[in-house]
Amino acid sequence: MDTLTAQSSGPAIIASRSYDARQRVQGISYSVNNTARLGWAYGFHPDYPHRRESAQSTVTGLPGWKWGFNDRGEVTSADRTEFAAAGQPAPVAGQSWGYGYDAIGNRSSMTRSAAAVR
């Protein structure tokens, strides 16, 4: 974990980053006066080490994203999520997109659903 402290006048803002075993940023948090104010948690695909699959706020009610990919690494879905009280990302109704591609990788379609379904 590494931290950065910034202060010009007033309370100091502290930014902390945590890393996974592959040295990818796993989370970022910001605090003021030792009170957490904002944070993000990142998820990566286990077989594709540089493919970020989710970015989620650790503050209840703030949005995050979850992405799906095909075998060629093209984004096939994007779902907006909120951090639920149970600690798991919950889909946001009407905030789910799907993408289709032709044989050479050009995006050929886009859909938006009434509710995110996974």
Model confidence pLDDT, tens digit, residues 67-97: 999 999 999 999 998 876 666 777 888 899 9
**How many C-beta neighbours within 10 Å does residue 89 have?**
24
Whether residue 32 lies inside any domain: the answer is yes
Whether residue 68 lies inside any domain: the answer is yes
pLDDT, tens digit (0-9, with 9 covering 90-100), for 9-33: 778 888 888 888 888 888 888 888 8
Whether residue 118 lies inside any domain: the answer is no
Q: Say if residue 1's pLDDT is above 70.
A: no
For position 103, what pLDDT does the model report?
95
Domain count, the chain: 1
What is the CATH number for 14?
2.40.128.720
Residue 74's SS3 state is: coil
**Structural domain of residue 7, as residue ranges?**
2-113
58 in Cβ contact with 27 (< 8 Å)? yes
